[in-house]
Chains A and B, each alone.
Chain A
Amino acid sequence: MHKCERCASPATVHITEILSEGKFEEHHICEPCYPKYVHDAQNKGDGKPFGTGSPELEEALVGQQECPSCGLKFVDFRNKHRLGCPNDYQVFQTDLRPLLENIHGETRHVGKTPRRLPKIKKEEARLAECRQKLKRAIEREDYEEAAHLRDQIKTLEEA
């Protein structure tokens, strides 16, 4: 039986933290110490002790994912009950669907549609695509491409 690495009581929580390149770390903690462990681990350099490997998913898990258009995080919405821009409906759709179901009992629009819809749809699809590309360009630090995409988005938004 392992002892808690923090207080020497019998450990009841066993954690295997997977690090890079096949390395891993084992932690053994008792229940009273566990909340402290989680708190410390989250404040550690990498900040993500229970990583899922996908930054988007992790961000979403803690409500920190940001809308690339308006910068709103889902926690901001939770606090203020107002969304920041039309794009938020797409960015936070997984979080919004259960909420809409709660409010309206439905999640799909069945009413009126703008007459200009076909044209708008094409433009919006292009805009969304550019935003995605921009995000990826920033992630791989390709700033030349990012600047180009940013200009393209601006032109599309103004159109």
Chain B
Amino acid sequence: MNLDNLTSTSGEWLRANGPEADIVISSRIRLARNLSTYPFTNRASAHQKAEIEAKLRGYIEKLDFNPRLEYLNLSTVVPLDRQLLVERQLISRELANSEGPRGVGVAPNEIISILVNEEDHIRLQVIRSGFALDDAWQDADQLDDKLEERAPYAFSEEFGYLTACPTNVGTGLRASVMLHLPALVLSKHIEKVFRALQKINLAVRGLYGEGSRASGDFYQISNQVTLGKSETQIISEIRDVIPQIITYERQARQDMLRDNRHAILDRCSRAFGTLKSASMMTSEETMDLLSWVRLGVNLGLVDQITIGELNELFIHTQPAHLQKVLGKQLDSEERNSERSRFLRARLREIENQMN
């Protein structure tokens, strides 16, 4: 995989061609697995980690699955490129920042990635555009079977797939859905939604997972329980609750339009205008303004840009992407200037394509 070309493309899951893509950005399935004959990563020696990495690399490269996965040895990838992979959601921050033998197998369309020597030996993830948990699960399940033909998994009949942290044991499954909920945030109904979700044991997180802020009004909803329920049961519990949240968000959007159409139109247009003309732009402001424009497109108030193009801008304006395009390290002030330059150029390009 050529990391230098990544900044000119985007993952398939970002293209907004999946179901309910106006509100649901992506659906993700993650499976945690470990080899039965080694200590978990945190207790493995450097030598053992190297062995695990070599074995899994072999399995991943020979995996009989379409699309074929390309393997990256992360200990030889420079920090900026590792950060790039984090921003594209292909690897976790934890894997990027850890040390020692570790890697990732990535499908060229960026729908699948298999992390090696993260907290567990194997973290397999599938991301799909829109509300498509079942499709993502089907891919993950098949891929898991293929990998298991070669890799002897740590499994107990009583406790299921054994993981370094007991919060993942059993199915090892984390199913999550990324939602864009600007109207629920604006109408302050979002807290109510969270409380209801927490009551049924679902977790709510920001864009980049655990501990991250919900910038750009993006929220990730995922299961917490992994033991004592089947995979389909866990997935259906999330799948059943998402349509209600989508309905609430749509309702909140309609209410906004009915009561404050002019004010909303003004906010969306100003956001778009600022993105097209500002000369300094922080990451936070960018997320905030893009969120307004995204809402504007979905409400039919803005029509010069598509949802897919906007999704891409959320990712391509992140620090590592900007620095990768310029080919050098930038301090935060340089980044803010480069970010606005990038936005102006890209938005002009999109406008020209439309005309």
Contact = CB atoms under 8 A, between A and B. Distances in A.
Same assembly: yes
Interface of A: 69-70, 72, 80-86, 89-90, 93, 96, 99-100, 103-117, 120-121, 124, 157-158
A111 B170 contact: yes
A109 to B, nearest CB: 3
A111 B229 contact: yes
B169 A100 contact: yes
A99 B166 contact: yes
A23 B230 CA distance: 57
3 smallest CB-CB distances across A and B, nearest first, come from A106-B228, A109-B160, A86-B154
Interface of B is mostly: loop
5 contacts: A85-B38, A86-B40, A89-B159, A96-B166, A112-B141
Residue among A83, A108, A112 with max Cβ neighbours from chain B (10 Å): A112
Nearest to A69: B39
Interface of B: 34, 36-40, 42-43, 119, 141, 144-145, 148-149, 152-162, 164-167, 169-171, 173, 224-231, 234
A72 B227 CA distance: 23
B297 to A, nearest CB: 40
B227 A86 contact: no
B148 A111 contact: no
Contact of A104 (B42, B162, B227, B231): B227
B228 A89 contact: no
Contacts of A103: 166-167, 224-225, 227
Given A82-B43, A84-B42, A111-B234, 16 more contacts: A82-B42, A83-B164, A85-B39, A86-B154, A90-B156, A103-B225, A107-B228, A108-B158, A108-B227, A109-B161, A111-B160, A111-B229, A111-B230, A112-B230, A121-B157, A124-B36
A72 B229 CA distance: 29
B148 A109 contact: no
A80 B36 contact: no
Given A82-B165, A84-B39, A116 B159 contact: no
Nearest to A70: B39
B37 A158 contact: yes
A109 B37 contact: no
A82 B119 contact: yes
Contacts of B161: 109
A100 B173 CA distance: 15
Contact of B157 (A84, A86, A104, A109): A109
Contacts of B38: 85
Contacts of A82: 40, 42-43, 119, 164-165
Contact of A72 (B37, B43, B160): B43
Contacts of A106: 225, 227-229
A108 to B, nearest CB: 6
A40 to B, nearest CB: 35
B171 A111 contact: yes
Contacts of B173: 111
A157 B164 contact: no
A157 B39 CA distance: 12
A96 B165 CA distance: 11
A116 B153 CA distance: 9
B129 to A, nearest CB: 25
B156 A114 contact: no
Contacts of B34: 86
Contacts of B225: 103-106
Residue among B39, B144, B148, B173 with max Cβ neighbours from chain A (10 Å): B39
Contacts of A116: 148-149, 152
A107 B160 CA distance: 10
A46 to B, nearest CB: 31
A29 to B, nearest CB: 40
Contact of A108 (B162, B166, B228, B234): B228
Contacts of B153: 114, 120
A155 B155 CA distance: 20
Contacts of A115: 145, 148-149
A81 B165 CA distance: 7
B37 A114 contact: no
Contacts of A86: 34, 36, 40, 154, 156, 162
Nearest to B42: A82
Contacts of B234: 111
A153 to B, nearest CB: 10
Nearest to B225: A104
A90 B229 CA distance: 21
A21 to B, nearest CB: 42
